Chain A
Amino acid sequence: MNPVNYLYLAALLFSIGATGVLIRRNAIVLFMCVELMLNACNLALVAFSRMHGNLDGQIIAFFTMVVAAAEVVVGLAIIVSLFRSRHSASVDDASLMKL
């Protein structure tokens, strides 16, 4: 088997995640789809690392995880405060672009 298959898998997961972002309304699910996309990227990076024979790809994946963690923390905080004021986690409810 060729390691390129990992890249195909990553592309597939990324597309599924992106589609999920577009069709789900629940902010939490939306966030999970974003996480899925990030993970797909990480998989691609790890596969690249293996193909090129150096660890830089893994380092970038590592940083991506850190950034994802930070993003999740802030994003979930936003969801919580949104829920507090609107009693709903639907992103469509915030269509006036303000709390």
Chain B
Amino acid sequence: MTALAAYTTSSGEAFQFWVLGTIAVLGALGTVFMKKTVHSALCLAGTMIILAVFYLANGAYFLGIVQIVVYTGAIMMLFLFVVMLVGVTAADSLKETIKGQRWMAALCGLGFAVLLVGGIGNASLSEATGLAQANAGGNVEGLASLIFTKYVFAFEITGALLITAAVGAMVLTHRERTERARTQRELAEQRVREGKHLPPLPAPGVYARHNAVDIAGLLPDGTPSELTVMQTLRDRGQIRDVSDEALDDLRALEQRSEERLGRDEAGFPRSAATAAGAGESGKTEGPK
């Protein structure tokens, strides 16, 4: 391992760099361009793992492990957790809404990359010292002695920062309950008082071909009832509307049965009065 971080790089490391580096760039591009948030997160996780490997290759053993454990393990899981909260299936439309934003962003990103690459190319960095000497007493020990001597104040301050961040996150997300939670009995009494929905809310997917929680149950007249879908899905806008399909199916069914029974206007001549009455009733019932 120590030899890996020497001044000269082995051809193995070069191979590793070119292969994993390509994947890392692809992962980064995936993070940016994937439509679904979950996919972005997974791409990012992949890139991070590759970066962890690169850390190890550069002799930063402690950081490499921390990268995998803390970043890929904890932070990315936090991301996924929030993604689940917001809606895992929700896909972004990649259509740009701000005029010229995409072009400007592309121009800036490209220009920035060119500048950075040019800057690095300009800098005389052809020689590398290698970490053989610095890592001689062990990488973790070296880091520890620096953290607790030279960087001790920065270390303490970052600790304070973490605590502050934790408190801040709680303040932002926690909502203090200002009144006692209502019991089941009280809720039932309230429902009776209001006179709406005395029984429990109807189940989703009723009267539909799909039996799923994200499909609103249809009322007897064929319109979907939002009451049947749970609040969270309603908020995310993830209700699948199948009412039109049902109506179309019903209409097609009626059409077919009419044809089969041979009941068209021309084939059944009646008296004027009854024909008019039947026609009207037929019309009013027809759309149902």
Contacts and interface: CB of A to CB of B under 8 A. Distances in A.
Interface of A: 1-9, 11-20, 22-26, 28-29, 31-33, 35-36, 39, 42-43, 46-47, 49-56, 58-59, 61-63, 65-74, 76-81, 83, 87, 89, 92
A39 B175 CA distance: 33
A28 B58 contact: no
B169 A77 contact: yes
A3 B158 CA distance: 30
Given A49-B134, A61-B60, 6 more contacts: A22-B101, A25-B92, A35-B75, A50-B129, A63-B158, A74-B169
Interface stretch (B64-72, B178-186, B271-279): B64-72
Interface string B164-185: 1110111011000000000000
A69 to B, nearest CB: 6
Interface stretch (B112-120, B191-199, B249-257): B112-120
Interface in B66-108: 66-67, 70-71, 74-75, 78-79, 82-83, 85-86, 92, 96-98, 101-102, 104-106, 108
B37 A77 contact: no
B154 A63 contact: yes
B119 to A, nearest CB: 8
Contacts of A61: 60, 63
Interface stretch (B17-25, B214-222, B260-268, B280-288): B17-25
B37 to A, nearest CB: 5
Given A6-B17, A58-B143, A49 B60 contact: yes
A1 B15 CA distance: 9
A39 B105 contact: no
Nearest to A66: B158
Among B31, B117, B139, residue most surrounded by chain A Cβ atoms (within 10 Å): B31
A18 B112 contact: yes
A16 B32 contact: yes
B75 A46 contact: no
B161 A46 contact: no
A68 B75 contact: yes
